[in-house]
């Protein structure tokens, strides 16, 4: 640990160094976590939280002794790039996602992987190292268009909006993002959720919005809440957010695309009528862990760096958009606010792609606000569950009709296959002459004349 430069090594290399210094073999390390759990149970210890650091060390020892490939240890001597006093940080990172899902494939003969945000599908078999028997992407069946996806590429001043590194802190770009937030807070009832690519960028934008007076305008329409890396603070912010939506005050929640809110929190119905995705949520490309994973994917699965980074960013963007639509009777607005989304729309899930019309693929802030108003006006029309029957919701009769239709199609397919196979077996081609009879060979006709 007493080093002044970054060290990266594989588990076998680390274990060899460990054996040279401490004479500890690999085999006993594999059972550290299991033996610690057995010891805690035997001693009937109550305050298990007090032993959390010891449990983490035991888990680390077990993992590093179990896996030879797919993991990497990275030792960084400083907490940050600007730090001068050594404070080493040891990262033990998994580079191969296939390790996590392999026990599922080993245990079950048939596995169905399904999600509304898995796109593009071709990437998952490559990353997780498995072959697919059936691979399909389906659209969403709705009786009415209950969500409105759109791409905002420019502000009201026609200036480009993007979170690209070169222009992300440009005052005009930040102001246009602020105007976008203000307009949608004005027109959206109840809850608005805003996602940023990272905590650092979110803090920078909020600070600049405060100086521009944008947050003071937003405060007139919505309560402003912010997600933080602290889980307790985020839980309190979520509770306050839901309370504000319930009592009619309305709220806007500023959060991060890779944080707790984007992964597992649902904003159904009035808790999320609009979601704004500010910028493309790319990973921090200077991260040593990311660089190691990109190298592993390139060498092991032949996945290019740009291919994975784009796939990962659009997957997280789709997860953010899906937070506001949690059922067939729900509705919401999905805003992708970055010019780069215009070229990456093909990587969105199929159900979002088909709903994203060309006229909504390159809008200004004013055009997006006008489209959102028209959509919300349409959604305000009373809608009954009976109107969905037979279209987006099926009853027993609809299922029976569909089953009968599928059986007829299957019978027709089998009959066509049988006809094709019979034709292939005979292999005879019968040709008719101009008089309607069969066309005989000249040699046969000559034999008849004799």
Per residue in 84-136, pLDDT tens?
788 888 899 999 999 999 999 999 999 999 888 888 888 999 999 999 998 98
Q: How many whole angstroms separate alpha carbon 67 and alpha carbon 73?
A: 12
Which spans in 226-361 are helix H? 231-246, 260-264, 288-301, 305-322, 341-344, 350-355
Residue with tokens 């991060």: 256
Strands 191-196 and 274-278: parallel
Stated as kind and residue range, the H or E segment containing 196 is strand 191-196
CA–CA separation, 138 and 329 (whole Å)? 19
Q: How far apart are CA 256 and CA 72, in angstroms?
A: 27
- Return d(Cα 385, Cα 377) in angstroms, integer: 19
- Output helix, strand, coil percentages for the chain, rounded to the nearest 5: 50, 15, 35
Q: Are 255 and 262 in contact (CB under 8 A)?
A: yes
Burial class (CB in 10 A: 0-12, 13-18, 19+), 155: buried
- Residue 390 confidence (pLDDT): 66
Summarised one tens digit per residue, pLDDT across range 156-199 is 999 999 999 889 899 999 999 999 999 999 999 999 999 999 99
How far is CA 39 from each of CA 26, 46, 65, 302, rounded to the nearest angstrom? 20, 12, 20, 44
- The sign of the dihedral angle between the CA atoms of 361, 367, 372, 374 is negative
Is the link from the previous residue into 120 a cis peptide, with omega within 30 of 0? Answer: yes
pLDDT digits (tens, 9 = 90+) for 31-46: 999 999 999 889 988 8
CA dihedral 101, 107, 111, 116 (to 10 degrees): -40
Residues 6 or more apart whose CB falls under 8 angstroms from that of 55 comprise 33, 36, 48
CA angle 73, 77, 80 (to 5 degrees): 105
| DSSP β-bridge partners for residue 151 | 336
pLDDT tens, per residue, the chain with 450 residues = 567 788 889 999 999 988 998 888 888 899 999 999 999 889 988 888 888 899 999 999 999 999 988 999 998 888 777 777 888 888 999 999 999 999 999 999 999 998 888 888 889 999 999 999 989 888 888 778 889 999 999 999 999 999 998 898 999 999 999 999 999 999 999 999 999 999 999 999 999 999 999 999 999 999 999 999 998 999 999 999 999 999 999 999 999 998 888 877 889 889 999 999 999 999 988 889 999 999 999 999 999 999 999 999 999 999 999 888 887 788 999 999 999 999 999 999 988 999 999 999 999 999 999 999 999 999 888 877 676 776 777 888 888 888 999 999 999 989 888 888 776 555 544 444 444 444 444 443 444 444
Strands 363-364 and 223-226 turn out to be unpaired
Q: How far apart are the first and last CA of the chain?
A: 106
Q: What is the mean pLDDT of the chain?
A: 87
Q: Nearest 5°: CA angle at 352, between 351 and 354?
A: 70
pLDDT at 450: 40
Cβ-based neighbour number of residue 181 at 10 Å? 28
Report the run of H or E that residue 199 belongs to, with start and end.
Answer: helix 199-212
The pair of three-digit structure tokens given for residue 189, joined into one six-digit string? 């009832």
């Amino acid at each position: 640990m007493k080093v002044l430069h970054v060290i990266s090594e594989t588990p076998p290399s680390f274990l060899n160094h460990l054996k040279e210094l401490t004479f500890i073999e690999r085999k006993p390390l594999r059972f550290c976590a299991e033996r610690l759990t057995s010891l805690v149970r035997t001693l009937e210890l109550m305050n298990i939280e007090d032993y959390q650091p010891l449990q983490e060390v035991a888990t680390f020892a077990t993992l590093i002794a179990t896996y030879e490939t797919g993991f990497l240890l990275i030792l960084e001597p400083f907490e940050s790039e600007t730090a001068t006093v050594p404070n080493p940080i040891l990262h033990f990172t998994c580079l191969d996602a296939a390790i996590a899902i392999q026990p599922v494939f080993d245990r079950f003969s048939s596995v169905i992987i399904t999600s509304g945000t898995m796109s593009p599908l071709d990437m998952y078999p490559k990353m997780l190292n498995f072959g697919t028997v059936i691979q399909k992407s389906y659209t969403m069946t709705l009786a009415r268009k209950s969500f409105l996806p759109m791409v905002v590429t420019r502000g009201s001043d026609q200036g480009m909006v993007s979170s690209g590194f070169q222009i992300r802190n440009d005052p005009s770009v930040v102001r246009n993002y602020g105007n976008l937030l203000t307009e949608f807070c004005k027109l959206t009832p109840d809850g608005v959720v805003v996602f940023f690519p990272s905590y650092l960028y979110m803090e920078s934008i909020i600070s600049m919005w405060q100086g521009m007076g944008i947050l003071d305008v937003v405060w007139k329409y919505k309560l402003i809440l912010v997600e933080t890396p602290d889980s307790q603070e985020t839980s309190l912010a979520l509770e306050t957010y839901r309370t504000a939506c319930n009592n009619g005050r309305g709220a806007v929640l500023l959060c991060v695309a890779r944080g707790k809110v984007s992964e597992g929190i649902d904003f159904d119905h009035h808790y999320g009528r609009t979601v704004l995705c500010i910028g493309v949520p790319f990973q921090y490309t200077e991260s040593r862990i990311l660089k190691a994973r990109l190298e592993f994917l390139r060498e092991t699965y032949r996945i290019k760096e740009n291919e994975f980074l784009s796939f990962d960013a659009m997957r997280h963007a789709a997860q953010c958009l899906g937070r506001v639509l949690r059922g067939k009777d729900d509705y919401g607005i999905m805003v992708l606010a970055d010019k780069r989304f215009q070229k990456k729309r093909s990587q969105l899930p199929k159900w979002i792609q088909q709903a994203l019309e060309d006229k909504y693929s390159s809008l200004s802030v004013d055009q997006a606000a006008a489209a959102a108003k028209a959509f919300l006006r349409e959604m305000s029309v009373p809608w009954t569950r009976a109107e969905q029957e037979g279209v987006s919701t099926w009853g027993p009769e609809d299922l029976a009709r569909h089953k009968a239709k599928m059986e007829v199609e299957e019978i027709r397919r089998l009959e066509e296959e049988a006809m094709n196979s019979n034709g292939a077996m005979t292999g005879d081609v019968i040709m008719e002459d101009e008089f309607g009879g069969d066309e005989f060979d000249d040699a046969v006709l000559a034999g008849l004349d004799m």
